[in-house]
Structure 1
Amino acid sequence: MKTLLGRTAIALVAVSFAAEASATEWNVSVWGKRRAFTENIEKLAELVAAKSNGDFTMNVSYGGLSKNTENLDGISIGAFEMAQFCAGYHADKNRAITVLELPFLGVNTLAEEVAVSNAVYAHPAVTEEMAQWNAKMLMTSPMPQYNLVGTGEPRDTLAKFDGMRVRATGGIGQAFEAVGAVPTSVTSSEAYQAMQSGVVDTVAFAQHAHLSFGTINEADWWTANLNPGTVNCPVVVNIDAYNDLSEENRKILDESVPEAIDFYLQNYGELLKKWDSVLAEKNVQTVTISDEEIAAFKEKAGGPVQQQWIAEMSAQGLPAQELFDLVQTTLAEARK
């Protein structure tokens, strides 16, 4: 009897160990701290754990796995299974998606940003380029149009942008450079220190980042309507890790992405509603740029920067015009 009980106990322990061994646990590399920008990932982790009854879990690490500028490299070697990165951090590694960072594309809402990102991510040129890093596009982290916070006298004309030292990456940086500003591409985590020490006069961010990285605390003013563009920050997964998922868990992951994005949009919308009260609380002046100045900015930094990107990327063998046109047609469809 004892022998039978002993064998039964051993069998139960073995089954338990086997169940634990079969569970899937992914490490996810992000940076900074939990904020509106990472709520798509946090929600996704919550959803897959719930739907899989704990069989598929994600550990979200804020800077503990990699530098934000090296997340794509970490994905490529399988150091972790999922990561978030921004295209402007290493434009040479993800050239095709930098079309989404071009200035004055005309994207007005977060929903439109999701639409154009999804369309571009699905393009074969993007799939092929990401595969070189063993990465598969999973979802975007949509952000509203960037605007400036700055110190001293408000810079509300193109003439005042001349010589302005601005933290801006990608196409936004090129746009400011086109009107005489001096862009620097310090990472988001370094922006506050750069502003505090006077390395930069202004910082271009979306609202959540001005809050999360503290630049709003150094600001005297904020441009409410400059809207030169935004940064595109995908979430990617390691291809091998994705393929190794059970069929059920892969389905759970894929089907949870739209839910995670919907939650992100709702959450970010709440932040935008509170933005004016944040400015008032911190005594930050709201600066409205005139229509004439914005039109002049578009003329100097919109079309010329876009055409330069198309020429350069085409010369490198990318279907640049096709990618640019895809953004425009997707916007048109989204607005119908």
Structure 2
Amino acid sequence: MRVVSVLVALLFATGAPVTAAESTVWNFNVWGGKRAFTIGIETIKKILEAEAPESFELRINYGDALGPPKKNPESVRVNAFEAAQFCVGYYPNKFPLLSVLELPFLLPTKLRQRANIEMEVLAHPLIVEEMAKRWNIKFFGPSFLPGYEFMGNKRIETVEDMKGVKMRISGLNATALELFGAVPTMVTAPEGYTALDRGTIDSFGFPYTYGFGSFKLYEVSKYVTDGFNMSGFMCFQGVNIDAWNATPEKIKQALPTAQNEAIDAMIKAYKEADEYWIPIFREHVEIVKIAPSERVKLQTVSGKIWEEWADGQTAKGRAGNEILDFVKATVAKYTN
């Protein structure tokens, strides 16, 4: 946390002393520019700063201004900056239990349901403990994503078309694609344009539609799928616990309202992004419709991947089965 001295002059006819007021500042690091994905943190900023306009500031630093995204956990842990955007797939083995939310086809496709499930999982004591003990981080802002599709220069219409294709997708979802011959390759969002342009990857998995549009991947692609609707990154906004503890009580009390309004704002932003980007995509790439039967093929292999994930966590002394069972029950709660 940064404490900024703000000089407030109290002028009276006879002259008045100058006093100093302290203002809490959170510096927040996020990759890329303003887009649908950042509407959540922008909404939280607006609400929290309005709650305590003279004693709290949330400074959003776009474009990795404070450091590379893959180092955000380490940077926030040591309070190099107070808060940051996190996506679990960028940090293999750093948030092992939270990676449950990146299991393929575990979460529903409807955004409201997904947001509600993620919020409950992020509040689970096992996840709270994992963040705190490993990284001195507290969750404070939702960053749920739409389903993933694939844009690039290899035409994919069936799962068999994935054979030999270098596909950008995160670890646990990559496991499902590997079973059909895909070659997972991990690059960050800002690296996607160059990777597609140079042929480092053939197809880029990203939230549909805003992700492809925000990073202009349609400019260096020929095709985009529509219908896989895969799980992707589990993302969230976190703050250094020491910085949180030193934050004004009014801000802490206002956070739940800010979170709910952020969820509403993100759902609206994703819908508006679809309306904006789909016509542009039609002008640049072929939109390849995926038959439901193809998605079912991927879903069919996913159950085994869930159980293997849980067993692997348990073998390392973590509560893998417990957290998986909790997520399954929470999914049922919001979808049945």
> Is the structural similarity TM-score above 0.5?
yes
Quote how far apart the aligned CAs of 1:246 are: 2.0
Quote how far apart the aligned CAs of 1:160 are: 1.6
Find the aligned partners of 2:156 and 2:269 in 1 and give their Cα distance: 31
| Equivalent position amino acid for 2:146 in 1 | P
What is residue 119 of structure 1 aligned with on the other side? Answer: 120
Question: Bigger shift: 253-262 or 201-210?
Answer: 253-262
Matches within 5 A, 1:61-72: 61-62=61-62, 63-72=64-73
Q: Which has the larger radius of gyration?
A: 1
SS in 2 for 1:223: strand
Question: Bigger shift: 244-253 or 73-82?
Answer: 244-253
Identity among equivalent positions (%) equals: 33
Quick check: 1:27–1:82 contact (8 Å CA) kept in 2? Answer: yes
| Equivalent position amino acid for 1:295 in 2 | V
TM-score by length of 1: 0.91
Quote how far apart the aligned CAs of 1:6 are: 9.1
What is residue 138 of structure 1 aligned with on the other side? Answer: 140
Find the aligned partners of 1:252 and 1:106 in 2 and give their Cα distance: 28
What is residue 330 of structure 2 aligned with on the other side? Answer: 330
Between Structure 1 and Structure 2, how many residues are aligned?
323
SS in 1 for 2:60: strand
Quick check: 2:210–2:277 contact (8 Å CA) kept in 1? Answer: no
Quote how far apart the aligned CAs of 1:292 are: 2.9
Quick check: 2:169–2:184 contact (8 Å CA) kept in 1? Answer: yes
Find the aligned partners of 2:94 and 2:115 in 1 and give their Cα distance: 22
| Equivalent position amino acid for 2:310 in 1 | I
Quote how far apart the aligned CAs of 1:287 are: 1.1
The C-alpha deviation readout for 1:207-263, integer Å capped at 9, x for no partner, is 222112221222211110012212111101111111111222221234322122221
What is residue 280 of structure 2 aligned with on the other side? Answer: 278
| Equivalent position amino acid for 2:186 in 1 | S
| Equivalent position amino acid for 2:278 in 1 | D
SS in 2 for 1:272: helix
SS in 2 for 1:270: helix
What is residue 202 of structure 2 aligned with on the other side? Answer: 201
Quote how far apart the aligned CAs of 1:273 are: 3.0
Quote how far apart the aligned CAs of 1:199 are: 0.9
What is residue 249 of structure 2 aligned with on the other side? Answer: 247
**CA RMSD, 1 decimal:** 1.8
What is residue 39 of structure 1 aligned with on the other side? Answer: 39
SS in 1 for 2:53: coil
Matches within 5 A, 1:1-336: 9-11=15-17, 13-14=18-19, 18-19=20-21, 22-62=22-62, 63-132=64-133, 133-152=135-154, 154-206=155-207, 207-282=209-284, 284-300=285-301, 302-336=302-336
Quick check: 2:122–2:139 contact (8 Å CA) kept in 1? Answer: yes
SS in 1 for 2:94: coil
Find the aligned partners of 1:160 and 1:204 in 2 and give their Cα distance: 15
TM-score by length of 2: 0.91
Quick check: 1:168–1:184 contact (8 Å CA) kept in 2? Answer: yes
The C-alpha deviation readout for 1:258-292, integer Å capped at 9, x for no partner, is 1222212212221123343122232x211122233
The C-alpha deviation readout for 1:177-205, integer Å capped at 9, x for no partner, is 12111101111111111111001110000
SS in 2 for 1:23: strand
Quick check: 1:103–1:171 contact (8 Å CA) kept in 2? Answer: yes
| Equivalent position amino acid for 1:244 in 2 | A
| Equivalent position amino acid for 1:40 in 2 | G
Find the aligned partners of 1:186 and 1:9 in 2 and give their Cα distance: 61
CA shift in 2, pair 1:54/1:46, >3 Å: farther
Quote how far apart the aligned CAs of 1:149 are: 0.8
Q: Which segments of 5 or more consecutive residues in structure 2 lack a partner in the other structure?
A: 1-10
Find the aligned partners of 1:209 and 1:296 in 2 and give their Cα distance: 25
Quick check: 1:170–1:231 contact (8 Å CA) kept in 2? Answer: no
Quick check: 1:52–1:252 contact (8 Å CA) kept in 2? Answer: no
The C-alpha deviation readout for 1:140-193, integer Å capped at 9, x for no partner, is 2111110001214x2212222111101111222222112111101111111111
SS in 1 for 2:128: helix
SS in 1 for 2:15: helix
Q: Normalized per residue, which structure has more helix?
A: 1
| Equivalent position amino acid for 2:32 in 1 | G
